[in-house]
Structure 1
């Protein structure tokens, strides 16, 4: 029970301020003593003071209930969990992106697609007072800083790529954007977590982008058909190989037998070749031996004949020298008679024919021999008479 002078003051019931889990409360006090700046010399966006002083308190309020005089100050709720900012019409990831829309790009080939994207942001609870001191609240941070910065970044990137490249290199663009924007967000006391880029879409009434997309789809369908045909060909080849394998397995016994026969014939052929080679070598050796034998025999016979000839020549020469004069003719006749007798003996020709034919022209070996002997005798008698003549004066 309070006794209040109604002319001096009034009483108003105010509920306690609740700071939910996932948020911190940054206190902006309108009253209190003047405090010293605790933000540091590098922070040039305002002063942070101790709790109970006039200004933005350096230490935020943690989740809980607080009996706070809303006439003496205000509490700005700052999320400490990850929150999503969506640049999509009609969609919202948090209460801070209600006014965000798709980013209109201009590509290198003069297409103007609209790029939807989402950015995941985190605010360190210890840096929440700096964010409030610098931007007033998170909604103003998003609309006045993050939206222009993100839009400008993606517009600059899109001018270096064609529309097809922009679609095909979405993953690369998302990776590069994550690395670049992380540094930019740190400059605003924010922690950048991730950027998610959607598929560019045409503006209302624009059919050129749809034509490009249709061409890409047709191209992809053609590639898939080529791949399908290639896979079918591979499947057909595999099926043929399977059939061949099954047929080969069914004929394995015959195949094994034929292979064994082939091996046997090859071995037999090799053996025959070896035998033929050995036979050739044997024949060649025998031929060389026979040739050597014949050469040696011929050489011996030639030597014998030469020796006999030389001996006969020497004997004849000696006889000729010994029988020069009167005995030469006798010796000649004797030699001729001897040779004729040997000839008659060898040829077995009878001296007197068994059948005598009449007539004076009969000639036989015996008569020939007698004629020859008569001629020799006549020559011998003439020679004797010649020597017996006495020369006269």
Structure 2
């Protein structure tokens, strides 16, 4: 074989090898979830403008991509790069950034969206309908799987960035040599579905801040679609409750809860804080355009009202009247304190534009003591009241005050003091403390103790008058405990011990008295039968006595009559006998006198004795006759002499005593 043949064979082989190489590089196997990005390396045409994609055979990235399958693109005129389809996982969103299209209008931060764009899978349709560069307003929903041009659009997800950036200023992460969400100023959490759900112990709402739109009107701090013209129209005939329902009613249905950002702008949405919050749900929100902050929902429990301070709305129009000097009270929808509070319920209200002050309408108990109430912490800063008596004794008083705020007066209370905490700490604390300190200062220590009830009643009257000026009702002022000085406690202790001892003695005395009465009652009960018998006997005896008395009265009358008659008879007989005796005596006397003169005194006496013996008026035998050695005549003479010496005459029979039985003493 000659040199020429060898050269030919070598040339043919090289050519065949080159053809094989060209053929190998020109045939591309595109997987089912891939697209082939075609880059034309040689062309006499140049790309128009600043678009990086060629539509008419210009050199550069071609608009048409290679779909899954075996595809042929002649190398080295074309090179093909394989890119995965854009896939958005569940729970995430895809944010589309267009690198082709018209420039954004001045001041715009995102591109206008048209329905013809679809899911941005057709770059020709996008540009044909005046698509604009930059962040696209809609987001790709979870589960999206689409062959999106990797140069025309970059798609950001929480886990991956799809596409090929053409902007040289984009930062690359060197350790992985790929773009992430942080390269675009986002964190992965912002590329997740926004979920608003109840918290562990509270309900939540989402406050929306929009990053694009027309500026807010002067003086406004939040945007409400259509402003407050609807509120103004309802004021003429509507009630406050109807206006509140209108304000709390959301207009989010006009833009699908900020998910259709183009519709939001088309309905007049403005940049900044939004009036209407998001309620429970899952939302696909573009993090370049919408930010959401989770805050608790306004919950008004039973026994409470919420006084609303409106920072947005119609101009302030005071309805409180000229007598109220503590701020403006307005109808709902105006700036100021609403005259109608919110009652029991849950309200999706934006706390950035409507501040709600919870006012308890049940009886509120406040303790001036070391222990605070378990139902609230309004009295956490209240402490026991310390005051001095007139003598300088230091008292510590634990106090309890009960107040009540009517639901209809709650707006005026808040307008007066700002908050219920201010009412307690700034108004009540000073008023109650000063009253008790002044009262103590004017009283002696013992006087304060003795008139504690009067002091409490006086405090109730004083606090009631004071709080009435703030539209607050006082329901009670109670002295719970008084801590006395040690030296006063000692005196009071001794006094109390003495009082207790006295009370003990009195109780013992009463007990003894009761015991005596009990014993008496028991004895009386035991003698009831005898008592009844004695009472019957008394009645019988009384009746018999009455009978005897009656008989005695009869006998006495009879005796008096008969006695009188007998007396009269005896008197007559006695008078006659007396006259006879008198005559007889006179006669005897005259006889004795004549006899004495005739025979002498002794014979006269003997005659008289003989006469008396004869009449039987002289005892001849003596009472005691002693027979001695003399004669019986001597004894008789002695007896007679005795009778004469005694001046009387005995008539009794004499006692005879034998001489030998009588002991004669000298």
Give the TM bin, normalised by the shorter chain. Answer: 0.5 to 0.7
The CA deviation at 1:126 is: 1.1
1:230 maps to what in 2? 509
2:489 maps to what in 1? 210
The CA deviation at 1:71 is: 2.0
Distance in 2, matches of 1:44 and 1:246, equals 81
The CA deviation at 1:118 is: 0.8
Distance 1:253 1:123, change over 3 A: closer
Question: What per-residue deviation string (whole Å, max 9, x for no partner) do you get for residues 188-230 of structure 1?
Answer: 110111122223113xxx4213213412430331232122222
Distance 1:292 1:224, change over 3 A: closer
Answer whether contact 2:431 2:463 (CA < 8 A) is retained.
Answer: no
Which protein has the bigger helix share? 1
Distance 1:143 1:13, change over 3 A: closer
Distance 1:291 1:156, change over 3 A: farther
Distance in 2, matches of 1:21 and 1:264, equals 86
Distance in 2, matches of 1:267 and 1:277, equals 15
TM-score by length of 2: 0.40
1:219 maps to what in 2? 498
1:40 and 2:326 are equivalent in the alignment? no
Distance in 2, matches of 1:152 and 1:243, equals 63
- Please say which of residues 55-64 and 14-23 is displaced more in the overlay: 14-23
2:330 maps to what in 1? 49
2:310 maps to what in 1? 29
Question: What per-residue deviation string (whole Å, max 9, x for no partner) do you get for residues 76-129 of structure 1?
Answer: 111111110011113325321001111113234432221111111110111111
1:196 maps to what in 2? 478
1:240 maps to what in 2? 519
Distance in 1, matches of 2:532 and 2:321, equals 94
- 384, 387, 410: which one aligns with 1:128: 410
- Please say which of residues 76-85 and 65-74 is displaced more in the overlay: 65-74
- 350, 367, 389: which one aligns with 1:86: 367
Distance 1:222 1:160, change over 3 A: farther
1:95 maps to what in 2? 377
In structure 2, the gaps of 5 or more residues are 1-258, 262-284, 577-666
SS at match of 1:117: strand
SS at match of 1:39: coil
Highest RCO, 1 vs 2 (Cα 8 Å, sep ≥ 6)? 1
Distance 1:168 1:219, change over 3 A: farther
The CA deviation at 1:141 is: 0.7
Distance 1:125 1:72, change over 3 A: same
Give the alignment's Cα RMSD to 1 decimal: 3.1
TM-score by length of 1: 0.65
Answer whether contact 1:167 1:199 (CA < 8 A) is retained.
Answer: no
SS at match of 2:481: coil
2:560 maps to what in 1? 281
Aligned residues: 292
In structure 1, the gaps of 5 or more residues are 299-393
- 406, 418, 421: which one aligns with 1:139: 421
1:307 maps to what in 2? none
SS at match of 2:358: strand
Distance in 2, matches of 1:159 and 1:70, equals 47
SS at match of 2:346: strand
